[in-house]
Amino acid sequence: MSVVTTTPSGLDAGARHDRRGSWLPSGAMITTRIMELRKRRGLMAAMAIVNIGIPVIFLTIRLVAHAVAPKSYGPAGGYDVFTSLVAGVMFVFGFIVAAAVGCTAGSIDLTEGMFRHLVITGRSRLALYFARIPAGLAIVIPMVATGFVIVCAVCVFAAPTTLHYQGVAVPAGLSEPGLENWAAQHSAEVVCGFPTRGPVNVACFIGPNGKVVTPPGQNIPTLKTIPRATLKADAVMIAHEDYADYKNYFLSPPVPLMIKSGLWIELEAIIGFVVGLGLASLMGQRTVPVILMIILEIILTPLLSRNVIPHLINVQRGIVGLAVAHLEPGGLPQVFGGGGPGSGDHLVPESTTVAIVVIVAWLVGWTALGAWRMATRDA
Amino acid sequence: MSATVLDDAQPARSDFEWAVETHGLTKRFGDNVAVNGVDLRVPRGCAFGYLGPNGAGKTTLIRVLLGLTHADAGTMSMLGHEVPRHRDLALARVGAIVDEPRFHGHLTGRQNLEILAAAREPAARGRIAASLERVGMSQRADDRVAKYSMGMRQRLGVAACLLGDPQLLILDEPMNGLDPAGMHEMRDMIKSLVDEGRTVMLSSHLLDEVERTCDAVAIVDRGNVIRQGSIAELLAGSDVEVHVVCSSSQRAQTILTSALSGARIDVEGEELTIHLPAGTDRDVIAEINRQLVHDGIDVYHLQQIQVSLESWFLSVTSRLGESE
């Protein structure tokens, strides 16, 4: 069998209308790049373990523990579990794994000797570079999304049916009148345990066993000295005030929060991939860029995000991790800050506009650097 | 980088004389001049050998031609297209192996070719099976490249070259890693490619292989092309060697030295090696025999030695060394 014989008249007929010099990659180039990355079993396994395996193992252990000893171990899902996993695990690990994929995509043609084969095809080097971006994202985004969807599903379907709110056992899923009605029947627990304090000044709190404790020797009214109707009205008012908080913090995470959180961790993963791709293309290798990306995410960004250095504050604002942290959806514990919900004041201050500009600059800048190096380096 | 479209606005040239043409091509690495003002012309439709010792600059010139690295000076064209200006047009019909062929080890041979075909025109994908068949890799095409021997990777490299239905193939040391049977197959394949009207330019330091395979050669040493032309023409310009075994070699040397002006005669035991200037008529050889017999010397053996490309190459490069 022989390959199609060339005739002088048909020399370039096959190549006619082939935009080989264009910087735009063809669909076939992107598809084969996806195949090349997907076939890297080690990389894919590592991605799956970190993005899917860790949350799945964590949630499975919680499910089993709760099924075996429900009084000792709380439900596997719920708002708190969701927010902890998203801000504590998926955000950071998603970035690192995406960066590893980006560094692989950016360097592996060079290190494995395929780059020169590709250059010899006459295809634009920019097109060879740009083909890696959609190909890598086609792997990173679904992988991060899969892990996130599993977390969402467990947190919704394994959400608690009874909860302890500030130490008070409260039934889940109550409507506002329902909560107020429940509060009227449990006025002492509400007055002593709920975050909001009513006009009635009572010296009490909820003890470790969930029962109301009245500290002795205080010169303020006790539960016994306050009329029952006053206490009841106070409890209903507190329930009314705290309902929004109750609704947000109990049961499953709200759908808008899940959507925003999903987009937010995908943004972080996309940044990790694009920066990793550019850095590895610039350096022509994988290992050092991966290490640099991990250092950036785990050491540099938390340090520079939490402590204001007066003369370097604008440099700090240029850190992409800080910029992404400023776009964090409300209701999640602060990433890099280590605090709970509402502790956003730990971050170096930055406006949303500046944060967006910083993110775009990182994406465009590293893509340009990587593309420039691939277009000019010896193959 | 501008986008060049292969369409009617830039019609392919089919009237070009040289598959590869360079003028004053120069490539430096710091103070080291790897390619030094090379003027090279590779005729269309032939097998062309680019010969030189290790470190002579063979691979560097190929890398410059293919756009793997940039030239510091000079002009070049491939298949009638100016390079690097129309590199995409030129390379659309060029297949090449440079250095050791390396591929993604975790993919199969076929998958590696799919990646390369995707970077070419859509029709290239349809040539994968035929290319693998042609290099004898169909049976192993679905094995991972990590399991391939050096020779198999070399074959896969040739298959990759064929994806673009190339008019010009540039093969850098294509015999590396091949066993004798593989070398024989490679030789046959190069001949068949040339028979189809393609041009094959191969660089090698294996002179014997080049002599068997190529119609024309260029000799490169220290970045300079010192000779180029058809092998027959080049060898015709080399010294004539005559090997003689006779009864009295010392006497024969004395007789022939006075009889043959411009000849150099080496003696070793009963054997004489007579070096005659290029272009010496073969009647002179008959005259040597007559003269020796006439002077009473028994001649047991007399043979004109066919100068091989290898000995010619060594004489040319050594002369170059002496002149320096």
DSSP code per residue over A197-236:
--SS----EE-TTS-EE--SS-SS--TTTS-HHHHHHHHH
Query: Are both A190 and A260 inside the same structural domain?
Result: no
Q: Is B185 exposed, middle or buried (0-12, 13-18, 19+ CB in 10 A)?
A: middle
Report the distance separating Cα B21 and Cα B26, nearest Å: 13
- Listed in sequence order, the DSSP H helices in chain B are 58-65, 87-91, 109-118, 128-134, 150-162, 180-195, 207-213, 231-236, 249-259, 283-294, 309-323
Query: Are both A40 and A123 inside the same structural domain?
Result: yes
Given this model, what pLDDT does residue A178 score?
A: 92
Given this model, what pLDDT does residue A337 score?
A: 59
What amino acid occupies position B42? V
Query: Are both A112 and A205 inside the same structural domain?
Result: no
When CB atoms are compared, the residue of A17, A36, A378 closest to B6 is A17
What amino acid occupies position B223? G
**Residue A337: inside a domain:** no
Query: Are both A40 and A65 inside the same structural domain?
Result: yes
Q: Hey, are the CB atoms on A378 and B63 less than 8 Å from each other?
A: yes
Q: Are strands B240-246 and B224-230 parallel, antiparallel or unpaired?
A: unpaired
Q: How far is B146 from chain A (nearest CA, A)?
A: 11
Cβ proximity of A341 and A333 under 8 Å: yes
Cβ proximity of B226 and B316 under 8 Å: yes
Residues in chain A: 379
Given this model, what pLDDT does residue B318 score?
A: 56
Q: Could you say which residues of chain A have pLDDT below 70?
A: 1-18, 162-166, 210, 217-219, 248-251, 337-345
Pick from A162-171, A259-268, B11-20, B131-140: least confident: B11-20
Report the distance separating Cα B287 and Cα A17, nearest Å: 68
Report the distance separating Cα B220 and Cα A347, nearest Å: 65
Cβ proximity of B170 and B199 under 8 Å: no
Backbone dihedral region for residue A78 (phi beyond 0: left; psi -120 to 50: alpha; all else: beta): left
Cβ proximity of B213 and B49 under 8 Å: yes
Report the distance separating Cα A192 and Cα A235, nearest Å: 9
Given this model, what pLDDT does residue A249 score?
A: 60
Q: How many domains does chain A have?
A: 2
| Residue A161 DSSP symbol | S
Query: Are both A221 and A188 inside the same structural domain?
Result: yes
Cβ-Cβ contacts under 8 Å between A and B: the total is: 177
Each residue of B201-243: pLDDT tens digit?
A: 999 888 888 888 898 999 888 888 888 888 877 777 677 888 9
The residue to which tokens 């049916």 are assigned: A161
* Cα four-point dihedral sign B158, B160, B165, B171: negative
Mean pLDDT, rounded, for B121-148: 94
When CB atoms are compared, the residue of A8, A21, A35 closest to B3 is A21
Q: What is the token pair recorded at A41?
A: 């079993």
Query: Are both A202 and A135 inside the same structural domain?
Result: no
Report the distance separating Cα A24 and Cα B3, nearest Å: 9
Query: Are both A85 and A230 inside the same structural domain?
Result: no
Each residue of A138-154: pLDDT tens digit?
A: 999 999 999 999 999 99
The residue to which tokens 């193959």 are assigned: A379
Q: How far is B232 from chain A (nearest CA, A)?
A: 28
Report residue B314's pLDDT band, with 50, 70 and 90 as the boundaries: confident
Nearest CA-CA partner of A124 in A46, A236, A21, A219:
A21
Q: Nearest 5°: CA angle at B166, between B160 and B169?
A: 75
Cβ proximity of B22 and B40 under 8 Å: yes
Given this model, what pLDDT does residue A231 score?
A: 87
DSSP string, B199-260: EEEEEES-HHHHHHH-SEEEEEETTEEEEEEEHHHHHHTSPEEEEEEES-HHHHHHHHHHHS
The values of phi and psi at residue A261, to 5°, are: -65, -40
When CB atoms are compared, the residue of A14, A36, A119 closest to B121 is A14
Cβ proximity of B48 and B202 under 8 Å: yes
Q: Hey, are the CB atoms on B165 and A3 less than 8 Å from each other?
A: yes
Q: Hey, are the CB atoms on A16 and B131 less than 8 Å from each other?
A: no
Given this model, what pLDDT does residue A334 score?
A: 78
Given this model, what pLDDT does residue B11 score?
A: 41
Query: Are both A190 and A268 inside the same structural domain?
Result: no
Given this model, what pLDDT does residue B22 score?
A: 93
**Residue A360: inside a domain:** no
Domain around A293: 20-160+253-302
3-class secondary-structure state, position A124? coil
Q: How far is B64 from chain A (nearest CA, A)?
A: 10
Q: Which residues of B241-274 are buried (b: 16+ CB within 10 A; e: fewer)?
A: bbebbbeebeebbebbeeebeebebeeeeeebeb
- Sequence-distant (6+) residues with CB within 8 A of B73 are B24, B25, B26, B37
Report the distance separating Cα A195 and Cα A212, nearest Å: 15
Question: In the CATH hierarchy, which top-level class contains the domain B18-228?
Answer: alpha beta
Each residue of B247-264: pLDDT tens digit?
A: 888 999 999 888 888 788
Cβ proximity of A100 and A276 under 8 Å: yes
**Residue A364: inside a domain:** no
Question: In the CATH hierarchy, which top-level class contains the domain B239-306?
Answer: alpha beta
Rounded to the nearest 10 degrees, the angle between the axes of helix B150-162 and helix B109-118 is 30
Report the distance separating Cα A367 and Cα A275, nearest Å: 7
**Residue A339: inside a domain:** no
Query: Are both A127 and A138 inside the same structural domain?
Result: yes
Domains of chain B: which residue ranges?
A: 18-228, 239-306
> Which residues in chain B have Cβ-Cβ distances shorter than 8 Å to A22?
3-5
Whether B114 has a pLDDT exceeding 60, the answer reads: yes
Among residues 162-201 of chain B, which lie with CB inside 8 Å of chain A? 162, 164-167, 192, 196-198
Instruction: Identify the H or E element spanning A313.
Output: helix A313-317
Longest dimension (CA), chain A: 107
The residue to which tokens 């100016």 are assigned: B82
Report the distance separating Cα B240 and Cα A214, nearest Å: 121
The values of phi and psi at residue B203, to 5°, are: -100, 145
**Residue A188: inside a domain:** yes
Q: Is A56 exposed, middle or buried (0-12, 13-18, 19+ CB in 10 A)?
A: middle
pTM over 0.95: no
Query: Are both A58 and A100 inside the same structural domain?
Result: yes
Q: Hey, are the CB atoms on A113 and B103 less than 8 Å from each other?
A: yes
Whether B69 has a pLDDT exceeding 60, the answer reads: yes
When CB atoms are compared, the residue of A20, A128, A378 closest to B68 is A378
Average pLDDT of chain B to the nearest whole number:
85
The values of phi and psi at residue B36, to 5°, are: -115, 90
**Residue A104: inside a domain:** yes
> Which residues in chain B have Cβ-Cβ distances shorter than 8 Å to A126?
1
Query: Are both A129 and A229 inside the same structural domain?
Result: no
Report the distance separating Cα B240 and Cα A346, nearest Å: 91
Whether B1 has a pLDDT exceeding 60, the answer reads: no
Query: Are both A53 and A138 inside the same structural domain?
Result: yes
Given this model, what pLDDT does residue A11 score?
A: 46
3-class secondary-structure state, position A350? coil
When CB atoms are compared, the residue of A3, A12, A116 closest to B134 is A3
Q: Hey, are the CB atoms on B94 and A6 less than 8 Å from each other?
A: no
Report the distance separating Cα B184 and Cα B214, nearest Å: 14
Cβ proximity of A200 and A191 under 8 Å: yes
> By percentage, how much of chain B surpasses pLDDT 90?
44
Is residue B212 within 8 angstroms of chain A, CB to CB?
Answer: no
Q: Hey, are the CB atoms on A122 and B123 less than 8 Å from each other?
A: no
